[in-house]
Amino acid sequence: MASVMKTTRDVKGIGLSILRPDGPDKVTGQVQYVADLNPRGLLHAKLLRSPYAHAKIVRIDVSRARALPGVRAVLTAADIPVLKKKAPTRAHAVLAIDRVVFAGQPVAAVAADELAIAEEALDLIDVQYDVLPVAADPLESMKPGAPPVAELGTEADTSEALAHGSVAGVTTEAKSSKAVNISQQARLQRGDVAKGFAESDVVIENTYRVPMVHQGYLEPHAVLAQWDTAGNLTLWASTQGSFNTRSEVADVLELPENRIKVIPMECGGGFGGKIRALCEPITAVLARATGRPVRYVMTRREELEAGMPAPQVIIKMKTGVKRDGTLMALEAEAILESGAFSGAVLAVAGVFLASLYRWPSFDVQGFEVLTHKPSIAAYRAPVAPQTIFAIDSQMEQIAKAIGVDPVEFRLRHLQREGDKMANNQPWLSNGAVEVLTRLAEHPLWKKRAEWKASSKDGKLRGTGLSLGGWLGGLQPTGATVRLNPDGTLQVLTGQVDIAGTNIALAQIAATAYGVDIDKVKITTGDTDVAPMTGLSAGSKTTYTVGVAVMQAAENARNQTLEIAAKELEASVHDLEIDNDKVVVRGVPDKGITLASIGKKGNLYMSKVEPVLGTSHPAFSVQAPAFCGQLARVEVDPDTGEVTLHNFVVAQDVGKAINPLQIEGQMQGGAVQSLGMALTEALIYDDQARLTNPSLLDYRKLTSADLPSIETIIVEKPAPHGPFGARGVGEPPIVPAPAAIANAIEDATGVRLTHLPLSPERIALAIAAAS
Amino acid sequence: MAKQVLSFTVNDEPAEVLVQPWDTLLEALRERMGLTGPKEGCGTGDCGACTVHFDGKPIASCLLLAMQARGHTVRTIEGLGKPGALHPLQDAFIRHGVPQCGFCIPGVLMAAAALLTENPRPSEEEIRYGIAGNLCRCTGYTKMLAAITEAAGATAGRRS
Amino acid sequence: MRRFELVLPGSVDDCVKALAQAGPESKLLAGGTDLLPQLKNGLLKPARVIDLSGVPRLRAIEPGNGQGLRVGSAVTARTLELDRAVRAKYLSLAESGALVGSVQVRNLATLGGNLCNAAPSADMAPPLLALDAEAVVTGPKGERRVPIAAFFTGVRKTVLAPDELLVELVLPNPGARSGGSYLRHTPRRELDIAVVGVASQLTLANGVCTKARIALAAVAPIPLRATAAEQALEGQAVTPDRIKRAADLAVEAARPISDQRGSADFRRHLVRVLTRRTLTTALARASA
């Protein structure tokens, strides 16, 4: 949908590093998040959460809590008739009915005048639990006879995979009859794997483990709910998709969607963790029960104990190659631990494992396994970092084992456009080769031998790189572009801006219409007024909503030119937009201002139609986007501490609509990737209770742990993207774990396959090796 | 357990506000005074989003009881600079395109401002440690470092 | 946080009176960096909180007898980090102050809080052990002095009676030819908690070590001294071989557990590495 502009001059639009309009509000503390709202009569909500990962609820007595002065409502599942025992999703499990299936699961809810009173009310709720055996480890949980997690007959939830729109052609099967906690399984096969291994010279086997990690958004989940007397519900939400929140709340509470208005507030980070409804339904119920506005803000401890983290992923991988480097066979088993409810993007894992490189034969199996832990959700390129960690670590080891250059080895076998992915879909145009080539040309890579040789003071130096990507999401959307009476443009979408996308969309509107960006204002509307749209997820906002905005702006432009043609008695084809007016090409003094066209569309008794450009496209073609990362490290072999000296991110963005915002995405994504590589893990005990429920012990990287992140923007246009743009958000979280593992091996000779690559793992591995 | 009167100075103006004994300074500022610039990201001093200046020094306002601020001086992001009269750090943060989701930004700015008051010409390492108590999940800190470095030159220049 | 009554004493005497009245139902509040998270998480639910921030004496740093130093229990980590008198002779204590939390936390967290919270990982405990500090404790029966080595009695337990208050720490003058160092290991550089912490203090005379102190954190229920390692150095010239031997002996003193912050094996490994490094630094500082 690359568009040919009729404009003869360059407008200030796409391709420029234009600042976000919300900068001043954000640096002065004026931006409003949900927790900043404090309406008259506000009540505060708290949830009583189960201390046990698996228990039968024998009895709940709330009478003492209800009697506490200042308490306005105390609810249990018995008070909410729409709740069903077989909760198909986490959102439906508003309050536990008669069994809790993870520690931290809500059991009762309180609304009170003050937060302190609500907390005291929780202390006064008496719950009698019968503690049941716990499935805490996915490898144990997938065996027959493990303590069951889901209610019998609950269906697998594959909506997350659909939301990310990432892979077609993989059917996931229902669970097998014996292993009660396997909720999805999938298999991808091609060729004769046994023969491939038999003919291989070098066979390498490893088990890669990536623990559950948290998305780590700084703003905890928060929602404010209020009902009007006519029975309409308004939710002020921190969400990545207001229409999705509306649908889920409507479904859970059995309400018509048009009775719910979701107002998306500034979202203080989502990264996949604010796609699905979590605390919205219970807050709405509390507001209805009290007739007052109710605000619920999760504590950080609740976020960590009972949020929706990324799955633990365990990948057993075996590869076989010829001594000359010919790929022969790949065998892999991926186990995705999804916690107490189904919802992992299993198919994505399978496709990534076998699709990046040209394996003539492969057999990849995937299992989604339930355990008694909080259920998982998406986290920025869900399961891509985990699977790329495995496959890229493996490629590096193969290259080392047969003594070839690791970049050349990857480039030789990388699948190209048109090659068949593991699901037999063709690879679409992408910049994987270009990205890897740019990294290999980087001086830090070329000088890796010198860096290694410069090791001193007992420290060890090394360099590593890795390549990964994301297939790109799709979802129908819509946008309108209005011409105002003063000649300015108003863009309206329902898309939540979680990544600086609104300024990019405004730039697209400016270029497509033919005016400068300062004439364009963009608004994210609530679900009552905005065109329906999808999630801000899957790296698809610029790619899909960008197309809608571009088409709506073109539509508005055409309407504008048609009106101008009538007014000027000229042919539309002779007209162009020049700054703030429409002129006849070659006759510069013959023109009409955009303001006067806008005014005519809003004058009493006017016969000129107001300019309202619309577009509501659906999509079928994805745009894969690749990212390569390069790390230069120094390792203290005694303590295992890794000092990151340099980190480079190269990424194919198709067309950089706003380079400044893209750099921010690349840098932030890279640091999340580095956190997964180096320090982050949700650590559970054998009773599936979280042992590190604070940001002191759940270690996101700080500024002191990092160098400045260097960015290299690669532009290989996406054939169907707006002006060639691809998705940007997800690819940079993918490569760092493998890049760091490769760098650590270069420095120390030790290969680590379990994340995080913690000082303990590194130091003890070095000690064991020496 | 009646409310108590907290008398202190906030953003250069004397303030008297009724607080509960168990209110943290952060809660008093946000819920009782409408100063919602400081954010609660963790409530346990591990993220820095609630950073304010307490007698000029950066503190985690989620870890101080409101009544412990009696007689003291507090500055929040609302008192760092205003549109039209921004602090050089705020100006640099805008121009470098630092804020993404924005939730950490008030805390980072207060930590950085305190750093520059104590140390007008910090090294890169001093800046990195100066804001190491402020977690940011969006930016990777890179643009923050650039903005603070530039603003340090500006504030140091202004002083001399 | 749940509700409580807040008491705001203005002097040490007022504190003692308030403690006597409220007894076991009360908690002392200094910097709040340990107490408030425990209140917020519901681990403690006191009826009454006594705020020490209005007691000037607890914030004082004053010369002690024999050129020693008296450091008030409510002196902040940030003050320890920056104070000239502390840095001049008690560098390991300043180093421990500089490592706590982040600057926002160090401006609140206090020396007394770090000790009275009595976490096995308390950063300020090893330097105080290595410096032979004494705790000055007051209560209804008057003041008493407790050697810091006898202060801790278990995980989150101290010798303090429910009606007693830690007033200050008395640091003896280590002498001119003495040097110390505190190091800890954490996965992050800031905003973290010690997996293991080691403080060493060496005093020299005529090329011979006259006094050696090695103290460990996060390897036992309480911070403790590695006395066998100390004895291996005292009366000897401190050579790299003897440092290595002392580090091995320090490992034997450790009784670590495995938890989410580190395994017992890794903790023992770190005791060896950090004892070697702190002794090496302490020797250089003592010799300077």
User: Residue holding tokens 């269906």?
Assistant: A155
Q: Which of A120, A679, A704 sits opposite C3 (nearest CB)?
A: A120
**Hey, are the CB atoms on B57 and C107 less than 8 Å from each other?**
yes
The pTM of this model reads: 0.97
pLDDT of residue B104 exceeding 90: yes
| CATH 3.30.365.10 describes domain A135-209+314-427 | yes
* Separation of alpha carbons A585 and A564, rounded Å: 13
Closest-CA residue of A relative to B129 is A704
Question: Closest Cα partner for A342 from A423, A389, A249, A276?
Answer: A276
Q: Which of C2, C189, C190 sits opposite A116 (nearest CB)?
A: C2
Question: Closest Cα partner for C101 from C114, C86, C91, C85?
Answer: C114
Helices and strands, number each (H, E), in chain B: 5, 5
In chain B, residues 40-99 whose CB comes closer than 8 Å to chain A: 40-44, 46-47, 49, 76-78, 80-83, 86, 89-90, 93-95, 97-99
CB B49 within 8 A of CB B34: no
User: Do you find a cis peptide bond into C24, omega within 30 degrees of 0?
Assistant: no
ipTM: 0.97
Neighbours of chain A (3+ CB pairs under 8 A): B, C
* Separation of alpha carbons A206 and A209, rounded Å: 10
CATH of span C179-287: 3.30.390.50
* Separation of alpha carbons B64 and B42, rounded Å: 14
Structure confidence by residue, pLDDT tens digits, A408-443: 999 999 999 999 999 999 999 999 999 999 999 999
CB B127 within 8 A of CB B149: yes
A713 three-class SS: strand
C13 three-class SS: helix
For chain C, where are the alpha helices, taking DSSP H only? 12-22, 35-40, 77-82, 84-89, 91-99, 103-106, 111-117, 125-130, 227-233, 240-253, 264-287
The helix, strand and coil proportions of chain B, stated in percent and rounded to the nearest 5, come to 40, 20, 40
Identical fold, A34-132+220-267+274-306 and A430-470+622-770: no
Give the per-residue pLDDT at C106.
98
Cβ contacts (< 8 Å) between B148 and chain A: which residues? none
**Hey, are the CB atoms on A269 and B142 less than 8 Å from each other?**
no
B39–chain A nearest CA distance, Å:
8
Residue ranges per domain, chain A?
Answer: 23-31+475-615, 34-132+220-267+274-306, 135-209+314-427, 430-470+622-770
pLDDT of residue C192 exceeding 50: yes
pLDDT of residue B160 exceeding 50: no
Max alpha carbon distance in chain A (Å)?
89
Closest-CA residue of A relative to B84 is A24
Give residue C124's identity as a one-letter amino acid code: M
B11–chain A nearest CA distance, Å:
13
Strand partners, C91: none
Phi, psi torsion values for A647, nearest 5 degrees: -145, 125
* Separation of alpha carbons A467 and A731, rounded Å: 10
Closest-CA residue of A relative to B105 is A27
**Hey, are the CB atoms on C270 and A639 less than 8 Å from each other?**
yes
Q: Which of B40, B49, B145 sits opposite A708 (nearest CB)?
A: B145
Q: Which of A27, A114, A216 sits opposite B105 (nearest CB)?
A: A27
Closest-CA residue of C relative to A679 is C187
Among A703, A708, A712, A728, most B C-beta atoms within 10 A, so best to mutate, is A703
**Banded pLDDT at A1 (limits 50, 70, 90):** very low
CB A352 within 8 A of CB A388: yes
Q: Which of B58, B67, B132 sits opposite C190 (nearest CB)?
A: B132
CB A616 within 8 A of CB A495: no
* Separation of alpha carbons B114 and C106, rounded Å: 14
Q: Who has greater pLDDT, A180 or A616?
A: A616
pLDDT of residue C36 exceeding 70: yes
Residue ranges of E strands in A322-410: 327-339, 361-370
* Separation of alpha carbons A501 and A610, rounded Å: 27
DSSP symbols for A333-350: EEEEEEETS----HHHHH
Cβ contacts (< 8 Å) between A761 and chain C: which residues? none
**Hey, are the CB atoms on A123 and C42 less than 8 Å from each other?**
yes
C281 three-class SS: helix
Q: Mean pLDDT for chain A?
A: 95
Neighbours of chain B (3+ CB pairs under 8 A): A, C
A114–chain C nearest CA distance, Å:
10
Q: Which of A123, A679, A763 sits opposite C269 (nearest CB)?
A: A763
Q: How many CB atoms lie within 10 A of CB A245?
A: 29
Please state, for a pLDDT cut of 90, what percent of chain B lies above it: 92
Strand order in the sheet with C26-29: C5-7, C48-51, C26-29
C56 contacts chain B (CB < 8 A): no
Cβ contacts (< 8 Å) between C102 and chain B: which residues? 45, 48, 60, 132-134
Residue ranges per domain, chain C?
Answer: 5-50, 59-171, 179-287
Residue ranges of E strands in A506-564: 520-524
**Banded pLDDT at A4 (limits 50, 70, 90):** very low
Name the CATH topology of A430-470+622-770.
Aldehyde Oxidoreductase; domain 4 (3.30.365)
> How far, rounded to the nearest angstrom, does the alpha carbon of residue A618 sit from its chain's CA centroid?
21
pLDDT of residue A57 exceeding 60: yes
Could you tell me the two tokens for A175? 């669970």
CATH architecture of C5-50: 2-Layer Sandwich (3.30)
**Hey, are the CB atoms on C190 and B129 less than 8 Å from each other?**
yes
* Range of lowest pLDDT (A179-183, C196-200, C251-255): A179-183
Mean pLDDT calculated for residue range B84-113:
97
In chain C, residues 172-191 whose CB comes closer than 8 Å to chain B: 189-191
Question: Closest Cα partner for B96 from A542, A515, A265, A667?
Answer: A667
CB pairs under 8 A between B and C: 97
Which DSSP state fits B74? Answer: E
Give the per-residue pLDDT at A348.
87
Q: Indicate the Cα dihedral angle A76, A80, A86, A91, nearest 10°.
A: -90
**Hey, are the CB atoms on C102 and B63 less than 8 Å from each other?**
no
CB A761 within 8 A of CB A640: yes
Could you tell me the two tokens for A611? 């300019």
B115 contacts chain A (CB < 8 A): no
Q: Please, what are the domains in chain B?
A: 4-79 (3.10.20.30), 88-159 (1.10.150.120)
Mean pLDDT calculated for residue range A62-77:
98
DSSP symbols for A648-677: EEEEE-SS-SSHHHHHHHHHHHHHHHHHHH
A754 CB burial (10 A radius; 0-12, 13-18, 19+): middle
pLDDT of residue B159 exceeding 60: no
Mean pLDDT calculated for residue range A270-289:
97
User: Residue holding tokens 């490629």?
Assistant: A395
CB A524 within 8 A of CB A266: no
C164–chain B nearest CA distance, Å:
21
Q: How many CB atoms lie within 10 A of CB C182?
A: 30
B63 contacts chain C (CB < 8 A): yes
Give the per-residue pLDDT at A10.
77
Among B3, B39, B54, B59, most C C-beta atoms within 10 A, so best to mutate, is B59
* Separation of alpha carbons A115 and A103, rounded Å: 22
Cβ contacts (< 8 Å) between B104 and chain C: which residues? none
Q: Which residues contact A490 (CB under 8 A, 6 or more apart)?
A: A481, A482, A484, A521, A522, A523
**Banded pLDDT at B144 (limits 50, 70, 90):** very high
B84–chain A nearest CA distance, Å:
10
* Separation of alpha carbons C191 and B46, rounded Å: 7
**Banded pLDDT at A168 (limits 50, 70, 90):** low
pLDDT of residue A227 exceeding 50: yes
pLDDT of residue A162 exceeding 60: no
Name the CATH topology of A34-132+220-267+274-306.
Aldehyde Oxidoreductase; domain 3 (3.90.1170)
* Range of lowest pLDDT (A170-179, A362-371, A492-501, A725-734): A170-179
Phi, psi torsion values for A167, nearest 5 degrees: -130, 130
A189 three-class SS: strand
C59-171 to CATH, choices 3.40.50.720, 3.30.365.10, 3.40.50.2300, 3.30.465.10: 3.30.465.10
Q: Is the dihedral of CA C5, C11, C12, C17 positive or negative?
A: negative
**Chain A residues with at least one Cβ partner in C under 8 Å:** 115-117, 119-120, 123, 299, 301, 638-639, 641, 678-679, 683, 691-692, 694-697, 699, 701-702, 704-705, 758-760, 763-764, 767
**Hey, are the CB atoms on A500 and B100 less than 8 Å from each other?**
yes
* Separation of alpha carbons A325 and A406, rounded Å: 11
Q: How many CB atoms lie within 10 A of CB B75?
A: 20
* Separation of alpha carbons B87 and B102, rounded Å: 17
C95–chain B nearest CA distance, Å:
15
**Hey, are the CB atoms on A639 and C273 less than 8 Å from each other?**
yes
B148 contacts chain A (CB < 8 A): no
Mean pLDDT calculated for residue range B128-144:
98
**Hey, are the CB atoms on A697 and C261 less than 8 Å from each other?**
yes
Neighbours of chain C (3+ CB pairs under 8 A): A, B
Structure confidence by residue, pLDDT tens digits, C200-210: 999 999 999 99
Closest-CA residue of C relative to A680 is C187
Q: How many CB atoms lie within 10 A of CB B159?
A: 10
Supply angle C-alpha A353, A358, A362, rounded to 5.
55
* Separation of alpha carbons A118 and A112, rounded Å: 5
Structure confidence by residue, pLDDT tens digits, A522-578: 999 999 999 999 999 999 999 999 999 999 999 999 999 999 999 999 999 999 999
DSSP symbols for A226-275: EE-TTS-EEEEE--S-HHHHHHHHHHHHT--GGGEEEEE---S--TTTTS
**Hey, are the CB atoms on C104 and B20 less than 8 Å from each other?**
no
Count, residues in chain C: 288
DSSP symbols for B30-64: IIIT---SS--SSSSSSS-TTEEEETTEEEEGGGS
CB A458 within 8 A of CB A639: no
Mean pLDDT calculated for residue range A689-700:
98
Could you tell me the two tokens for A266? 């500034």
**Banded pLDDT at A3 (limits 50, 70, 90):** very low
Please state, for a pLDDT cut of 70, what percent of chain C lies above it: 100
pLDDT of residue A609 exceeding 90: yes
Strand order in the sheet with A479-483: A520-524, A489-493, A479-483, A612-615
In chain B, residues 69-108 whose CB comes closer than 8 Å to chain C: 70
Which DSSP state fits C259? Answer: B
A565–chain B nearest CA distance, Å:
41
* Separation of alpha carbons A697 and C121, rounded Å: 13
pLDDT of residue A174 exceeding 80: no
Could you tell me the two tokens for A191? 């060729």
Structure confidence by residue, pLDDT tens digits, C205-248: 999 999 999 999 999 999 999 999 999 999 999 999 999 999 99
Strand partners, A375: none
CA distances from C256 to A561, C156, C182, C221, C265 (A): 78, 16, 19, 8, 8
Closest-CA residue of C relative to A690 is C260
Structure confidence by residue, pLDDT tens digits, C148-170: 999 999 999 999 999 999 999 99
Structure confidence by residue, pLDDT tens digits, B19-47: 999 999 999 999 999 999 999 999 999 99
pLDDT of residue A165 exceeding 70: no
CB A732 within 8 A of CB A621: no
Strand partners, C141: none
**Hey, are the CB atoms on B67 and C8 less than 8 Å from each other?**
yes
Name the CATH topology of A23-31+475-615.
Aldehyde Oxidoreductase; domain 4 (3.30.365)
A137 three-class SS: coil
Q: Which residues contact B123 (CB under 8 A, 6 or more apart)?
A: none
pLDDT of residue A673 exceeding 50: yes
